[in-house]
Structure 1
Amino acid sequence: MKPDNNSKLTATNIEEKIEQIFQSGGQSGTSASLDDTVLQDLYQTLYHGDEAIMERTWHRLAQRYPLIEQSADTAPAASDARTVITFPQPETYRPQPTPKRPPQRTKTRTLSILMLVAACLLIIGGSLILFTQYQKPTQPAAPPQKGPLQFFDRQGKLIYQVDSHNKVTVGMTPLTRDFINYSLDELAADLHVKRGDLPTMGLKVTTTLDMQLQTQAYQKAQQTIATTSQTHEIGDASAIVLDYHDGSIHALFGNLNTQQSSYNVATQHPRLLGSIFKPITYLTAFEQGISPGEIVDDAQQSFPSSDTDNTPYTPYDYGMTFSNTWMSYRTALQSNSNVPAVQILTRTKLGPLVKKAQALGLHTPPAQDTGYAAALGIFEDTVLNATTAYGTIANQGVAVTPHTIDHVNDSNGRIRYQAPHAGKRILKPGTAFMLTDILSDQQANSEIYGQCNPTLLYSTSQEQCQAAQPGNIRPAAVETGVNDNFKDTWTVGYTTDYVVGVWAGNDNARPLLKIIATDGASQIWHDTIQLAEQGLPIKQFPGPPSDVVKKTATSHGVTTTDWYLK
């Protein structure tokens, strides 16, 4: 049928037109017909009244489409206003020889039949051509480049940008390098994509970085290392500021060496933990019901090497000396004594210690690979893992996964990712409380390290503090340590707001000179946590939870009043 202007063939109605042609005449007892007037018009348009063309066309159509059955006996007379062509059922179709034209066919009737067949053929042929073009498979277009990838700090300042060709156009300075690299790995893991695919995704990433704090802490650390490098031969440092309530990392730098950018103690290169691991040894015992008030003899002793090896192991305190007195475990931890730490581990055994340390996020070797020297932190870990473990203690025993990505928006502004803040209980509330109570004893720290030592968060200047004017002192629970080989100094501690972990030493593990526990890392810790706390109110640590009770006991002539798990 010749389509009018309102029924032009398009890519969307090809199938419909073909279906109309065949279905209108393809069912038993139905027929397709057209007005003679329409056929005559179509004939004039197509053949300009040339009957010879009509004859040749009819012959070719009959040869190409033998399914067209023409019934001369039942065809209406030439005078009838309608002409009928009947299509056979598909299931009954059999190839037929070329039909011969009925004798004495009238010119009008022949013309009508031919014109209807021609109209069908034109529609079907044109439709098939268009349909073929419409269905022609095409190569999928390359996805558009949606870069750049942008990182913002928690105040909304652009700190890093990389385009779709991996060209960094903003950031990646020594100040932000370690934070950005860690964040890129974290982002790829959060979105379950390859890191190399991130620049083409058109993402806007809001990080947890406090750029002002990062800058100030980095500069303070540089100043401390510069002033102590000759005295103690310390060449590098690393620090992390973590909000342990939600796991957000507000500052992170892995080293201060702008020339050797690949050395990153914060997240990649572990260092020997030493004494900052001792609190983990003690909290494992507290979890089993041992109290900080129980008494131990800090004298030279020999212990079995491990749970299964009876080879003698003899630890020594700093300077190869011992106090040779009976003391509580509380006092032993505060004074950083080695013998009591090993002694308490022989009571709790290695397996529970390793399990607890790993639950806190530390990469402790399996129990069978360690001996009782594990109580003294004879294995390595990163600043991030050490800081995270202390953050769980600060958070009353609830661990929250540390992260640098707060949320991610795509190029349309939709949220692609939001950091979870849910926590998981790792320690009993009473265990975390007892450890915080021990490590936050300002009087004990002053007796051990002296007045105005870096573990004391006084609010005035160091000169004023030394002149007995410390101002308001912010409570802090803190542990310091220097390894027996004098290659690493550590300080990790927390307030009611943040936990800060600091390492100081040399990238090449060169031993430090004339170093004590409050040198190097402690001063950087003091400056960093004071910067983080600027403008925040001073608060006390939470009181005792319901699963502890205070008791008084006497043993070996020493009377103590301390906390016990119920």
Structure 2
Amino acid sequence: MRVFRKYRAFLIILASVGIMLVLGVGGMLFAMRSEARKHPIYAADVKPFHSLRIADRNGVLLQEVRSRDGRSAPVRLRAISPHFIHAVLAAEDRRFRSHSGVDWLAVGRAGAMNILSVGRRSGASTITLQLAKMLDPGPRTLGKKIREVKGAWRIEAGMTKDEILEQYMSRLPFGNQLFGIESASQDYFRKKASDLSLAQAALLAAIPNAPTLLNPRRNLDLVNKRRTFILDRMHSLGYISREEKELAQAERIEIHEPARPRSAPHFIERLQTDLPAPITRVTATLNARLQAAVEQQVKEVIDELKGRVVTNAAVLVLENRTGEVLAYVGSADFDDHGNEGQNDGVQALRQPGSALKPFIYGLALEKGMSPATMLDDLEVHFSTPVGDFSPQNYSRRFHGPVRLREALGNSLNVPAVRVIAELGTDAALARLRDFGFQTLDADAEHYGVGLILGDGEVTLYELTRAYMYLARGGSIIPVREVLVQATAIMAKGRQSDGEREKRMKSAPLRVSTPEAVYLITDILKDPYARTTEFGLDSVLRLPFPAAVKTGTSRNYRDNWTVGYTREYTVGVWVGNFNGVPMQQVAGVSGAGPIFRRVMMLLQGKKEPKDFERPSGLIEVEVCALSGKQKGPDCPHGVSELFLRDEVEAGAMEPCDVHRKLPVLAGNGQIAPAGARREETEYRVFEDLPPIYEFWQRETGRPVMPRELSRHAESALFEIIRPAHQSIYRRPLDLAARYQTIRFEAVGAPGSAEVVWTLNSDEIGRTRDAHFLDWPVRTGEYRLRATAPGVPASEIRFTVE
């Protein structure tokens, strides 16, 4: 009592302040409510909750969705099951019929529980408040919450309770792009909202609380837990009897798969991203008939490949003249959750394998090479930050000297690496970015020479668009997904790949010369240029002019086929979204069959036009081996394209590889000066640099005698494999007895014997073809080769 007297004055003041605050806040709220009720929101004033209808270029409905979010079908309250109405009232707002928009009892309870942290945190949102939020979406700021309270009072002032329920239940979110009870009932249960059972009604009433988490197609057990809670609440409020509750809890619920039109679901989801809310109809560039046909071809081919651990594919079809998307398939089956079918393979980042080669070869052509330039296809080692790198071809064979046309056509890896090494990785990366590969966002050192073999990640969207630029002769245009009547949508600055599109707008209108692009096209459409690796009649050979390139990433995780005619560009990716390697499925056997089928669909019975050759190119007959102007001793000639200016300026060099020499008819040795004519015959020899000697002998080609070779003075006796300071890392998954390193030397005089020593221990002797295969052992080594009459050659290497 004495304590009370001591603090009596303070307590009185505190109580007075509290009463004043309550009265003040109450008065303010009363004033706000009175003002709000002067501006009622009537049911007729509320804009209908429209679906967004997306149609193809011919008006065929592709999908019906709510702008940005999902699909809705407005419904009258009398057409909704009473079970669902009671379930919603029990779950969301049990005093809905008695409050005027704000449930002050719930507000007080929630405030006390949240302040005191008693039990679970509690909310106080009413159905009317939720409807106000639906009608005025936006970030949840304090000002927004006050506006929602005012909106709730305005709604209560203008609508009856049944009208509020009707508007609310037509807008409730049910996940899977579904809004409104009628859409949800039809999609999940194949029945009208009026026909829902008690168990079904309670389950649907559970979803809007957290529509993404409580997805009945993914988390049915979680949804059923909340359904049980709602049934208990309905029983406690007197909506249902105990027996009805128990029967509903025991009822087995079956959720149906989506039945709504779902053509091009990945494309639709992509298109929706930036559409403004008022849009109710969009005409897309897609061709629905083509889309369905492409989807079918993808499913058929993937079904055939499933035995080789292949589960998915993606396809993008573009019209070259306009840049319009005609077909967009993001996966083999959108609803295949087990194989991540909702992932969009058109936009996924994957390693492109050899599919980037044409763009870097195009740069080489601009820098002075020609399709006839001779390139080395021999084993080579490159030092990289992660160790020694030795590129291999798809066939695991090397082909000696090859023309650039053959190197690109057959997708040979060694010549490609030599080309990018000569150009420089910085220049190659810059060229790829000019073609729109902005996802290659690391520096050139990060990729190294492996960039040309696919050591980076790109999207099928980028790759197909870049090949479309080749089809257009090197000129660029943006890819279009919406036709002209939706220009206002695009005016808001839709960015297909974020910042890349902004950069594209400032990029030059042409990214390469017409001559270089045509040469790349001519190589990619030449079936004879790819015969060595792919054969003459592979799936890549079409009955009309079509440029095509494949790509296969390491360990067969991704494979690609991308190509174009004058009218269309088609890009195909095949693989697994979880990154599991396929079983020996390369671009020609995985993506290739889909590419061929789609191209045949596109062309139909039409006779496609061939690509138009620029006037700046001219045909010249060249030696099939050297790539230089064919001479009298060349056994084979081929027609090749060159820049007209260079040919007319006399810049063509005659072939200096083939030389016809007299040999003794009996043994084929070079005939001495005094040999009689009847004892001699003429034979053509190949005068190639010493690095090709082993390849020539291995393939049985006529080697120019060393003393007569034009390379004799410059030839050095040297070890060419391994490269000096090479670092080898032993593969842990391969038994040691199968691991060897080949030692090879060139330039030994005549038929001299070469002695090989490793760390001063002799390991072998060779004659004529100077190579040894050495069983791998870890350590640091000094390899030495000696031959009579020439300085010894020595290199060092390490095996880790």
**Which interval holds the TM-score relative to the shorter structure?**
0.5 to 0.7
2:640 is the counterpart of 1:562:
yes
CA–CA distance in structure 2, aligned partners of residues 555 and 311 of structure 1: 36
| Residue in structure 2 matching 1:153, options 39, 49, 56 | 56
Task: Give the letter aligned to residue 407 of structure 2.
Answer: A
Number of the residue aligned with 2:311? 235
**Aligned residue number for residue 323 of structure 2:** 247
Q: Is the 8 A contact 2:68 2:272 kept in 1?
A: no
1:454 aligns with 2:454: no
Q: Match for residue 99 of structure 1?
A: none
Determine the structure 2 residue equivalent to 1:439.
Answer: 524
RMSD: 3.2
Preserved CA contact (<8 Å) 1:178 1:253:
yes
Q: Distance in 2 between matches of 1:446 and 1:320?
A: 15
Match of 2:414 in 1: 339
1:169-184 map, 5 Å: 175-184=263-272
- Selected match of 2:435 from 340, 346, 360: 360
Aligned to 2:356: 277
Q: C-alpha separation between the residues in 1 aligned to 2:361 and 2:544? A: 25
Partner of residue 301, structure 1: 380
Q: Which amino acid aligns with 2:516?
A: T
Aligned to 1:500, the other structure's residue is in SS state: strand
Secondary structure in 2 aligned to 1:489?
A: strand
What is the match of residue 49 of structure 1? none
Q: 1:497 to 1:533 in 2, by over 3 A?
A: same
Counterpart-to-counterpart distance in 2, 1:255 and 1:391: 22
Partner Cα separation in structure 2 for residue 165 and residue 360 of structure 1: 31
Q: TM-score, normalised by structure 2?
A: 0.46
Hey, what's the Cα distance between the residues in 2 that align with 1:522 and 1:383? 15
What letter corresponds to residue 563 of structure 1 in structure 2?
L
Q: Distance in 1 between matches of 2:534 and 2:388?
A: 32
* Correspondences of 1:544-563 after superposition (within 5 Å): 544-546=614-616, 548-550=617-619, 557-559=626-628, 562-563=640-641
Would the alpha carbon gap of residues 172 and 509 (structure 1) be closer, same or farther in structure 2, given more than 3 Å must change?
A: farther
Structure 1 residue 288 corresponds to structure 2 residue 364 = no
Equivalents in 2 of 1:165, 1:486: separation in Å?
37
Query: 1 CA distance for matches of 2:614 and 2:585?
Result: 36
1:279 aligned partner, one-letter code = P
CA gap of 1:180–1:319, structure 2 versus 1, over 3 A, is same
Cα pair distance change 1:379/1:321, threshold 3 Å: same
CA 1:261/1:506 → structure 2, altered by over 3 Å: closer, same or farther?
closer
Identity in percent = 26
| 2:389 aligned residue (291, 310, 313) | 313
CA contact (8 A) 2:315 2:330 kept: yes
Q: Residue 535 and residue 172 in structure 1: after superposition, are their counterparts in 2 closer, same or farther (change >3 A)? A: farther
**Equivalent residues of 2:311, 2:575 under 8 A apart:** yes
What is the number of equivalent residue pairs in this alignment?
394
Shift of 1:455: 1.0
User: Per-residue displacement from partner, 1:135-177 (whole Å, max 9, x unpaired)?
Assistant: xxx8798884573322110111122223469442599766411
Give the conservation status (yes or no) of the 8 Å contact 2:409–2:524: yes
Q: Which residue of 1 aligns with 2:296?
A: 219
Give the counterpart of 2:463 among 382, 386, 397: 386
Equivalent residue number for residue 546 of structure 2? 476
Residue type at the aligned position of 2:320: Y
CA distance in 2, matches of 1:149, 1:541: 41
Quick one: which amino acid aligns to residue 430 of structure 2?
A: K
Report the Cα offset of residue 512 of structure 1: 1.3
CA drift of 1:235 comes to 1.1
Give CA-to-partner distance per residue, 1:45-66, whole Å, 9 cap, x none. xxxxxxxxxxxxxxxxxxxxxx
Q: Is the CA contact 2:376–2:401 (under 8 Å) kept in the aligned structure 1?
A: yes
Change (3 A) 1:373 1:402: same
Name the amino acid aligned to 2:604. Answer: Q
Name the CA shift for 1:331/1:317 in 2 (closer, same or farther; >3 Å): same
- Cα shift readout 1:346-373 (whole Å, capped 9, x = no counterpart): 1111112111111111122321322111
C-alpha separation in 2, matches of 1:348 and 1:550: 26
Counterpart residue identity of residue 265, structure 1: G
Contact (CA 8 Å) 1:175, 1:218: kept in 2 or not? no
After TM superposition, give the deviation of residue 509 of structure 1 in Å: 1.5
**Equivalents in 1 of 2:378, 2:320: separation in Å?**
38
1:348 is the counterpart of 2:423: yes
Looking at structure 2, the residues matched to 166 and 208 of structure 1 have their Cα atoms a distance apart, in angstroms, of 21
SS of match in other structure, 1:240: strand
Select the structure of larger CA radius of gyration: 1
Whether contact under 8 Å (1:240, 1:266) holds in the other structure is yes
Distance 2:453 2:299 in 1: 29
Q: 1:168 to 1:288 in 2, by over 3 A?
A: same
Quick one: structure 1 residues 204 and 439, their matched pair in 2 at CA, closer, same or farther if it must change by over 3 Å?
same
- 3-state SS of paired residue (1:281): helix
- Rounded Cα–Cα distance in structure 2 between residues aligned with 1:140 and 1:510: 60
Structure 2 CA distance, aligned partners of 1:165 and 1:451?
49
Q: 1:333 to 1:212 in 2, by over 3 A?
A: same
Distance in 2 of aligned mates of 1:242 and 1:208: 10
Name structure 2 gaps, 5 residues minimum. Answer: 1-37, 73-182, 184-258, 495-503, 630-638, 646-800
Q: 1:280, CA displacement in angstroms?
A: 1.8
CA distance in 1, matches of 2:454, 2:406: 19
TM-score, structure 1 normalization: 0.64
Q: Indicate conservation of the 8 Å contact 1:145/1:164, yes or no.
A: no
Residues 516-555 of structure 1 aligned to structure 2 (within 5 Å): 516-546=586-616, 548-550=617-619
1:262 maps to 2:338: no
- Cα separation, partners in 2 of 1:228 and 1:202, compared to 1, 3 Å: closer
The answer to which structure, 1 or 2, has the higher relative contact order (CA under 8 A, 6+ apart) is 1
1:442 shift after superposition: 2.3
Give 1:330 shift: 0.9
Deviates more, 1:248-257 or 1:173-182: 173-182
Aligned residue type for 2:377: D
Shift, 1:483, TM fit:
2.2
CA distance in 1 between partners of 2:479 and 2:369 (Å): 30
Paired AA for residue 478 in structure 1:
V
Structural mapping, 1:83-162, within 5 Å: 144=47, 147-162=50-65
| Shift in alpha-carbon separation, 1:151–1:322, aligned structure 2, 3 A | same
Residue type of the alignment partner of 1:264: D
Within the candidate set 280, 283, 301, 1:206 is matched to 283
The aligned amino acid for 1:492 is: V
